[in-house]
Chains A and B, each alone.
Chain A
Amino acid sequence: MTELLFALFVFMLSIFLGFELISKVPPTLHTPLMSGSNAISGITLIGSLIAAGSEENPLSVSLAVAAVALATINVVGGFLVTDRMLKMFRRQ
């Protein structure tokens, strides 16, 4: 139960932090914000890595490999495309 409470503490603080940080992002960066933060949410990758490296039965392994692949697309694609966009923004 204490573990859950700790996790809920972290969750609550992250909500406030998220609102604080993101309300300051200017509209001109809303698309890179979405794709960049989306890449960060690909952090599910670490869960899928453990599963793909430790599971034994074929069904679990196939699900885990698919999870690794999807999460990696999310991470690699997200960061790269965000970088491509941000490279283009310039001042006068």
Chain B
Amino acid sequence: MRDTLIQATYLVASALFIIAIKLLNSPRTARLGNGLGALGMLMGAIATLFYQEIVRYEWILLGVVLGGALGAWMALRVRMTAMPQMVALLNGFGGGASTLVGLVEVLRRVPQGEDSPVWLLTVGLSILIGAATLSGSLIAAGKLHEVITGRPIVFPGHHYQTGLWLVASLILLVWTIIAPAQGLFGLLTAIATILGVWMVLPVGGADMPVIVSFLNSLSGLAAAATGFVLQNYLLIIAGTLVGASGFILTTIMSKAMNRSLWSVLFEAVGGQVSTASAEGRTVRQTSAEDVALMLSYARSVVIVPGYGMAVSQAQHAVKKLLDALQKKGVDVRFAIHPVAGRMPGHMNVLLAEADVPYDLLWEMERINPDFPQVDVALVIGANDVVNPAAKTDRSSPLYGMPILEVEKARTVVVLKRSMNPGFAGVENELFYKPNTYMLFGDAKKSLEAITQALMEI
């Protein structure tokens, strides 16, 4: 009877999780969905406490209080610009929990020989995927937080070593099935941890949206594998939903960069700066006052934010400019490239924080046909996602990546710190076009100067 009630509660919790993700389909219902997901989690956790096997609560309490306090502190303190590393960390912790649960199961069941080959396979997978997710996510978070350099870190023969660690983990996985022993699972944990580190070290900043989505997917799959280990359907359902979610995001991000997951993991881009074609050409510089003048005469303005906006925390300055322009009757929209920033939806969250309504944010496919009718395209700290070489230059590393076609606007203004090339280390043709003006300096300060000048006109 008790078990039936627990399982029935799990059934309700699964339904709540599914509804939660369904409600995330619209910004109007998303918050309710998130709340329902939390409710499902609470129900599942409370029901679990009634399991017959649970005899002591003090250790549970210790873990929950510790984790709850830390989680709440992180969630309430984190700045919106630091959201990519926050998400990476959370992915990692989920993976870590799966590994640890797998290890506890190994300690309990392997000595008693209560293990079928299938069970051994699933517990091995939950340990392998979980540990690689944890270590990989920690490296990703370190890179995003700039504790580790955002440039690719590549040792000689790095990708062969990564392949070696992967093969070694798979061999161990099979070995644990043939001759189960606790020590082997310990070794598997260690090698999977190294695999995660090796996998993420060569990934550069611009590729981060792909890798963060991929780790998101892995954290779900680790939970699903743990579900198989414990024969728990709630875990299987929830984990698989997340695995699918991360997988879809990985695909969207890879497509938006015209790269495969394979090439993100195994072919580091960036670091080497090509100096070709930069010789002897000059860009046209402009001033905040001139930009303000251009904007005040415009009917249609499109703002293109990039990672530079996040770096200089310029989202609130953008909102002030938006208000000033709207007051003058200018039609302002935002063009959002899927991989602008360091994770899927990064720009959207920052602009939402600054109170920019989300219906002003247009996706790439929707806004690209409109650029010829746009008077001023204002590029704020974006580079590779507006580089026309992606369409025309077959030799460019960016070739084939879909871009925001700002060069078709009547006038383009680029706010940029310096002439340093973007992450891919590729010169940007856009800066040399006759209709492009460059405004150098910190994005936030430049925006404030433009807004100031605009209000004085």
Chain A positions within 8 Å of B, measured between CB atoms, are 3-4, 7, 10-11, 14-15, 17-19, 21-55, 57, 59-61, 63-92
8 Å CB contacts to A: which residues of B53-82? Answer: 53-57, 59-60, 62-64, 66-68, 70-72, 74-76, 78, 80
With a cutoff of 8 Å between Cβ atoms, the chain B residues found around residue A68 in the complex are 59-60, 62-64, 67, 97
Do the beta carbons of A60 and B104 come within 8 Å of each other? yes
- Assembled-state Cα–Cα distance A10/B234 (Å): 9
Q: Quick check: A71 and B108 within 8 Å, CB to CB?
A: no
Q: Is A47 in contact with B348, judged by CB distance below 8 angstroms?
A: no
Q: Is B94 interfacial (CB-CB < 8 Å)?
A: yes
Residues of B contacting A39 in the complex (Cβ-Cβ under 8 angstroms): 34, 37-38, 41, 90
Q: List 29 A-B contacts (CB under 8 A).
A: A7-B233, A11-B228, A18-B240, A29-B25, A39-B90, A41-B94, A41-B222, A41-B223, A42-B90, A42-B223, A43-B223, A43-B234, A44-B226, A44-B239, A49-B48, A53-B49, A54-B55, A57-B107, A60-B108, A69-B64, A70-B96, A71-B97, A73-B67, A74-B97, A75-B41, A75-B67, A75-B71, A90-B355, A91-B357
Chain B interface mostly: helix
Q: Are B25 and A46 in contact (CB under 8 A)?
A: no
Known pairs A36-B37, A44-B101; list 8 more (Cβ under 8 Å). Answer: A7-B228, A7-B231, A15-B243, A36-B21, A37-B220, A39-B41, A69-B70, A89-B358
**Chain B contacts with A in 107-148, Cβ cutoff 8 A:** 107-108, 118
Q: Knowing A49-B60, A69-B70 are in contact, say whether A91-B33 is a contact too (CB < 8 A).
A: no
Interface size on B, residues (CB 8 A): 112
**A46 touches which of B48, B67, B118, B336 (Cβ 8 Å):** B48
What CA separation (Å) do A11 and B228 show in the bound complex? Answer: 9
With A41-B219, A45-B97, A71-B94 known as contacts, the answer to whether A34 contacts B239 (CB < 8 A) is no
Asked if B63 contacts A52 (CB within 8 A), the reply is yes
Query: Is B100 an interface position by the 8 A CB rule?
Result: yes
Contact indicator A47/B236 (Cβ below 8 Å): no
